[in-house]
Amino acid sequence: MIKAKKSLGQNFLIDKNILEKITDITDIKDKIILEIGPGTGNLTSYILKKNPKKIFVIEKDDNLALNLKNKFNDKLIIINDDVLKIDENILFKDKVIVFGNLPYNISTEILSKWIINLKESFWFESLVLMFQKEVADRIIAKFNTSNYGRLSIICNWKLNIKKVCDIKPGAFYPKPKVDSSLLFFHPKKNFIKLNNPKNLEKVTRIFFNQRRKMLKKPYNQLFNGDQKVCNKLKINLSLRPQNLNLDTYCKLAYEYENLRS
Ligand code: SAM
């Protein structure tokens, strides 16, 4: 019996209906799959049943990686490493479909890394990912709501996101203390292009630093008190950060970038 490591966010999915549901979200027959954190291989077995062309898995835990090798033999390409250290843009020449019941302690870090590092051509076709419900609610939040913030803006910048379902702790072993949500992401065709996506990170960080305060102070900090950009984008600086929509934040990042180039 494998003992779950809390430090690696190990909560293994055991509910057969949920495992089935996850692999039914999108057609994976003859597709190249990447699974993040396959753990004991529960989801991996369901993915394999759908006859993908190839499956890559990235698992940090050495014991679990060895266990997967014994269990699945040459059916998987096992990368025994930290997903945060991998450059998927280099690894994948053909587009992949990504599955992951993500380790919750680093789930937002993984997703933000992927989005910020995306090149002109996306390395994935879609993402099927499980998050802690509270995090998923922040990812899909719309402006003018309390959950809306940096994470919502960065994730929705280049991706369309749909919530598939919420999942109760009983679907996992060991049971997590919180509910989970399954999200489906696929790339947008149109979005505001930035030379350096870190500028969107910076702009949103400065605006949401004090989310209850008016926009005036962070705006002046970024644009040195020059009102041109806020006039052009018709921004009322007495509003709060959560009142600006995604498009406005992307335009602010674009203007900020132009100012510095
Ligand atoms: N997919 C399995 C399932 O649903 O039963 C396990 C999911 S469990 C929530 C998260 C998995 O990610 C664990 O197997 C854990 O060892 C692995 N993991 C944690 N941190 C990781 C990292 N930085 N890179 C790769 N895998 C990681």
Give the tens place of pLDDT for each residue, 152-194: 999 999 999 999 999 999 999 999 999 999 999 999 999 999 9
Residue 103 CB less than 6 A away from ligand 1: yes
Which pLDDT belongs to residue 260? 86
Residue 10 CB less than 6 A away from ligand 1: yes
Which pLDDT belongs to residue 116? 94
Query: The whole model's pTM is what?
Result: 0.96
58's tokens: 């990235």
- The pLDDT tens digits of the residues spanning 3-23 come to 899 999 999 999 999 999 999
Q: In the chain, what percentage of residues exceed pLDDT 70?
A: 100
Distance 172 CA to ligand 1 centre (A): 13
Same fold, 6-187 and 198-260: no
CATH 1.10.8.100 is right for the domain spanning 198-260: yes
Which pLDDT belongs to residue 3? 86
Could you tell me the pLDDT band of residue 220, with boundaries at 50, 70 and 90? very high
What does the alpha-carbon distance between residue 82 and residue 78 come to, in Å, rounded to a whole number? 12
Which pLDDT belongs to residue 120? 86
Q: Does residue 261 have a pLDDT over 90?
A: no
Given the CA of residue 11, which atom of ligand 1 is nearest to it? 9
Give bridge partners of residue 180 from the DSSP assignment.
132, 167
- The pLDDT tens digits of the residues spanning 221-256 come to 999 999 999 999 999 999 999 999 999 999 999 999
Distance 196 CA to ligand 1 centre (A): 30
DSSP-assigned states of every residue in 101-121: E--GGGHHHHHHHHHHT--SS
Q: What is the CATH number of domain 6-187?
A: 3.40.50.150
Q: Name the residue of 36, 45, 63, 177 to mutate for ligand 1: max ligand atoms within 8 A of Cβ.
A: 36
Asked whether the bond before 174 is cis by omega within 30 degrees of 0, the reply is yes
Which pLDDT belongs to residue 2? 78
Q: Does residue 1 have a pLDDT over 80?
A: no
Query: Domain extents for the chain?
Result: 6-187, 198-260
Residue nearest to atom 12 of ligand 1 (CA): 37
Residue 19 CB less than 6 A away from ligand 1: no
Residue 83 CB less than 6 A away from ligand 1: yes
Distance 257 CA to ligand 1 centre (A): 36
Residue nearest to atom 14 of ligand 1 (CA): 39
Residue 37 CB less than 6 A away from ligand 1: yes
- The pLDDT tens digits of the residues spanning 100-128 come to 999 999 999 999 999 999 998 899 999 99
Given the CA of residue 12, which atom of ligand 1 is nearest to it? 5
Which pLDDT belongs to residue 24? 97
At residue 178's C-alpha, the angle toward residues 146 and 78, to 5°, is 110
- The pLDDT tens digits of the residues spanning 66-107 come to 999 999 999 999 999 999 999 999 999 999 999 999 999 999
